Structure formats: C-alpha cells, structure tokens
Chain A
Amino acid sequence: MLRMSATIVGMILAVPVKGDNIMAVTTRSGRTYQPTDLTTAKRRDFIEEARVGVARLRNSDGETLVALPERDLNALVELRDHALAFLSLENAMSRAREDRRSTDFGELAWATALDDDDLAEFRAEFADGLASALAERSVARLDKTIHAWRLTSDLLRDPVAMARVNAGVDEDDVEVSSPTEIANEPAV
C-alpha cells in the first residue's frame, strides 16, 4: 500500500509517466501544446484532450502544465487525502497498542476506540476501498465505509448503549408510540 499511496501523490504533483494508466491520466495524442496553439484552431484539440483526459501545455519557461476535467482533479485530491489518512492508520497500527496516541491516527483519531480486531478489519476495508476508488475514480464508497466505522467508534464510546447491544428486552423497556400518537395524547 505504501507504494500505491506514493504513486497517487506523485501523479498529482507531476505529469504522469507514459504507460502508467492508473486513474487513466494520460493524453490521447501524447502531444504537448504551445501557448500560441491556443490562439489557433488547435485550441479545440487541446480542449477536447483535456475533456477526455489530460492535455499538456509547455510554457515559455519549459514548464509543462496540464489541463484535465475538474472532477478528475477533485478525485485525485480526495484520493491523496485518503491515502495520507491510510498511511497514518498504518503508522499508528505499527506501534504497540500501549504506545499509540490518538494523534498517531491523524484525522482518524476516533479509531482509538476500536480494538485490535476491529482495527485490522477497518484497515483491510480501507485498503480495499482505496483500490476500488482508484479504479472507479470516486471515493464515494470508501467514504461510506469510513463513515460506518466512525459511527461504530461513536457507539463503542457509549457504555450505556453498548450494554444494550444483544441484551434482551427487560422490564425497563417500553413500547414506543408513533409521533402521531404522541401528538394526539391529551396534555397532562
């Protein structure tokens, strides 16, 4: 996973290596445009290449700029953030439990509520989610997975609620009226 995460960051900061089809950030023609091309009919080709993937433009300083659909850039940025969060999780999990601090988990500090079995399951689902997000160019499913684990950690921090999980119904329990019934109850 370390290698994959590093690749994502590299692809955001640099022009993708030819032949590396991760995220399909490649040019269709392989052509690099000049600024003057944008004043001619070639700008249509430039825009079309940007629309379907990446278009390259070399400025007068020799620096290469790229244009790509904003949704692809957003997906790459989100993937980078998730990859960094994953690295923080890996880093935290590499420490003995008694040596871990919540700050080791970075933005996943809430994960300290998970025991080692749950952490291992979370890590595995996170890794699968990252791989799927790369393929799908979307972090939507990964976000849902992380959200579910976040909710789980919230409940684990509530001992009263946890005592009710898998417990039977007892004399302390009451049936819940529907909101309509509550609204229609006469005021006492």
Chain B
Amino acid sequence: MAYLDVRGLAKSYVTRRGTTHVLGGVDLTVDEGEFVAVVGYSGSGKTTLVSLIAGLLVPDAGDIVLDGARVDAPGPERGIVFQQYSLLPWMTVYENVALAIDAVNAEKSAAERRAITEDLIRLVNLTPARDKRPGQLSGGMRQRVAVARGLGMAPKVLLMDEPFSALDALTRATLQDELTRIWGERRCTVILITNDVDEAILLADRIYPMTPGPGAVLGDAIEVALPRPRSRRHMSLSPAYQKARHGLVDFLRNARRGVA
C-alpha cells in the first residue's frame, strides 16, 4: 500500500435545489517524499478533494489511508495551505506561524519552539515582516506565511489548494521558484492542487488530471521525467516537458468533450 492511499472517494452536496455530485470515485496514491499535483478545470471539485483528504469534510464513500492509519478527522499530520491563505488577521506573521508550531510541538520547550518558528519564517524569506499583520502584507507575502504555517505542522503530507491562484503572474512565478527551493530543502510529501498545467509540471513528480465535474474522477497519473533542479526557462524546450504537457492537455480537452 502506498504512503497515502485514496480509494473510491465520492462526495455529493445536497442543497435545496437538488443533489450535486462533485466527486464520483477518486483514486489517488502518493509515495513518501513524493510531490504529486492534481490538475483540473476550475469548479471541477479540486477543493472538495483537498477538504476530504484534510478531514474537514466527510466523504459519502471511499477510504483515505495515510501511513497505515485511516483518516476520519482533521489533524496537523495533513498540513494544509488554503487557497484564501486563511491567516488569522489579528495575529502577526510570527504568531500565525507559532500557532501551528506550538500546536504540534507541545512537548518541546518554549525556546525550541521559538527557534523552529524563526527558522520557518527565514525559510520563506519573511524575517523582516515577522511582526506585521496579514493586512499589511501583499498577497505573495501572505501566501508565504501560509506555506510556513503549513510546513510548521510538520505534516506527513502537505496539502496545497491552488496556493498561487490568487496571485499575479510575476509573484506566482517567484513563489513557484521558492516552493521548488523549499521542497528541495525539506523533501516533504506534497499534494498540490492547481489549474495551471505548467505549474504542475514545474513542481511535481507525477500529475493526476481531473475530469470536469459533476462526478469528477482522476485520470491515470502522468510522470514528469524532468531532472531536478528544474528551471522554468529551459524546461519548455525539453522533450520530457512536451510529453507531459501534451498528455495532460489532451486528457483535459477530451474529458471536457466527454470522450475520456
């Protein structure tokens, strides 16, 4: 069994206007230390998938097993970086990150926890802004705080729900590069949800394409055979990039036409 094993995950929402089938049996596996991306159109149910793996929603059917344990509630071993950052606006950068550090390191001394927090803030290049509140930060800086907080949970798997989708293109590129660097240093297990094919190829080892809903499912994973460290400048010329990109784009187009 894989490190993270998701089997037959289904979820519907019941509203007054009827039932919406969002996910219709999602299968997904992630190995330890692997960076996996899920790519799909907006509104296809990607956020629902993340919320289910995080345990914030309860599935109608299917199983999630992480490192041999069944997932049935939220917990910091599935750290999450939310799409809308979800920083607590009344706390400084330091306090936002420390909230996670303190929650998962209760047995450590205050000095150790402080050191971990400062380390993470340095890792995401926010030391000069450590005492600012989210309201005083740009979107890119806020998302760095959210990444630091997610890593601070010392998760077995870090879930990232379209972390850069609210950012402008330039900031997004910078943060993608930083995420590559951070992942190179930490080698944590990551699931990245995105609607950006190039972002997925730049960052991930394997990419699952998602069919548009209702009743979304994942296609077969596509390996990204690009060597690391990757550079966005040289990447687009390589045959491995072309192969991954064509595979994904073909799947997504066909899925939308209802062929897949």
A binds B: no
Residues of A within 8 A of B (CB): none
| Residues of B in contact with A (beta carbons under 8 Å apart) | none
